[in-house]
Amino acid sequence: MRNVAVIGVGYTPVFVSKRRDVNIVEMISESVDAAFQNTGLTPDDIDAVTFGNMQTFEGLNLPHLWASDHMRAIDKPIIRISTGGTTGMSVLQAAYYYVASGMYDVVMAVSWEKQSEGDSQVGLSGIVLPEAMTMVAHGMDLFTGKGIGFGGGGSTGAASYQAMSYLHHSGAEPEHIDKMAALERSNAALNPYAHLRKKTTVEDIQATPMVAFPLRFGHTCPTSDGATTCIVASQEMVDKLTDGNVAWITGVGSATSDPCTANFLEGQITDPAEQKPAKIASEKAYRMAGIENPGRELDMSEMYNGFAHQSLMWLEKLGVCREGEAHKMLDRGALDIGGEMPTNASGGVFSTNAIGTSAMNRPAECALQIMRKIEGEHQIPKKIKKALAHGWGGMFQYVTVMVLADEPG
């Protein structure tokens, strides 16, 4: 396999709840333009394109077809990848494989979501609606909670069950979720590409209503409009096209289990907080990256956290710390931007969530941190040698992992 590096990142100028001024393909063009501007490349330098989003969030099938001109993919090989929440990283991993395999040298990975054009709550219901209707046909009551069957649970979805199971097994308290939420929102306040950018205290979070215990309103992510483009290249093209300040992809992994919280039709056998795919995927990525002790060797992490408890949970599931340790790291400031394991210095998905981009922004942020090209004030002060990026999707079942580094390894 060949060495592959992220050589540049392009975000839309903002991630906000509503881009009223542009249509979908115009918005995508902004992030592609930014990537070209940031790398000094032109479309002629691009050998192939990988692309993805969540189709039903915009009601648009195979949107790379309409976006062909706007993302400068005319006459290029292109592949569309979509895996739910993990889409962004799955798209970047496809670009990685395209280069690692020797097929192509420079590949552009494009992800986007314009969630204001649809209703994402409704779009998410589309994951399981036929299954739910089958249960309804057998007497399930969708609305009152009477009877047995429905896996969905409270209005924060099955995330509340996951949070409770996490708390139970880790020994963390609900207050730790508040604290993590406040930390990440405050990080987001420093990031010009974050959506919710307000310095936030634990008290602010605790003032929000409890929706489905243990999750509060202030524990949930926003829905955003935005697009992200990453350009990856082979060693040879890194030498040719860049000054060498790039972020190397040294480990990749992905794994699935089953739609654990939605398998009410055929029996749920997986604890939503168990997340064994995180272990499978991360162990593979660490092995590739030559990492034996992730907690000691990694310098930062970007976790996919649609809900505020998840960063803590993932740190444990991905082996960054032992089970039950993450909330202690939080308590001692280890997860702060200046801490030993800065986690979601960007503010995370919890602060910015244009879903297709959410799992691409994680490795993109790691790459920018490594390259010390962070715009805004969330640059981690210490030198970043190895960074962990994580994506999560499907119906609680997919995990993607990437390790990025300042050296090809």
- 206 touches other proteins by CB under 8 A: no
Least Å distance, CB 336 to other proteins, is: 27
Q: What are all long-range contacts of 75-79, with beta carbons under 8 Å and residues at least 24 apart?
A: 76/43, 76/46, 76/47, 76/48, 76/49, 77/47, 77/48, 77/49, 77/104, 78/48, 78/49, 78/50, 78/51, 79/48, 79/49, 79/50, 79/51
CB 387 within 8 A of CB 232: no
Q: Which stretch binds other proteins (CB under 8 A): 57-65, 289-297, 336-344, 378-386?
A: 57-65
324 lines the binding site for other proteins (CB under 8 A): no
Q: Compare residues 61 and 381 and give the one whose CB is closer to other proteins.
A: 61
Q: Tokens 């055929």 map to which residue?
A: 266
308 touches 219 (CB < 8 A): yes
Site residues for other proteins, window 82-111 (CB under 8 A)?
A: 82-84, 90, 93-94, 97-98, 100-103
Q: How many residues bind other proteins (CB under 8 A)?
A: 139
Q: Is 171 in the site for other proteins (CB under 8 A)?
A: no
* Burial bucket for residue 402 (CB in 10 Å: 0-12, 13-18, 19+): buried
By CB under 8 A, name the one of 10, 214, 226, 348 that touches other proteins: 214
Residue 92 or residue 335: which is nearer to other proteins going by CB? 92
Distance CA 394, CA 156 (A): 16
Measured from the CB atom, the residue of 161 and 314 that comes closer to other proteins is: 161
Site for other proteins contains 62 (CB under 8 A): yes
- The residue among 22 and 202 lying less far from other proteins, judged by its C-beta, is 22
Residue 37 burial class via C-beta count within 10 angstroms: exposed 0-12, middle 13-18, buried 19 and up: exposed
Element (H, E) at 108: strand 106-114
CA-to-CA distance for 274 and 263, rounded, in angstroms?
Answer: 15
Residue bearing tokens 């000094």: 40
Please report how the helices 159-170 and 174-188 are oriented relative to each other, as an axis angle in degrees rounded to 10: 110
Which is nearer to other proteins, 86 or 242 (by Cβ)?
Answer: 86
Task: Annotate each residue in 17-46 with x if it binds other proteins (CB under 8 A) or - if it does not, as one string.
Answer: --xxxxxxxx--x------------xx---
Using the rule CB under 8 A, which residue among 17, 154, 206, 385 binds other proteins?
154
User: Footprint of other proteins on residues 113-132 (CB under 8 A)?
Assistant: 114, 116-119, 121-131
Q: Does the protein bind other proteins through residue 207 (CB under 8 A)?
A: no
CB of 383 to other proteins, least distance (A): 27
Residue 55 found at the interface with other proteins (CB under 8 A): yes
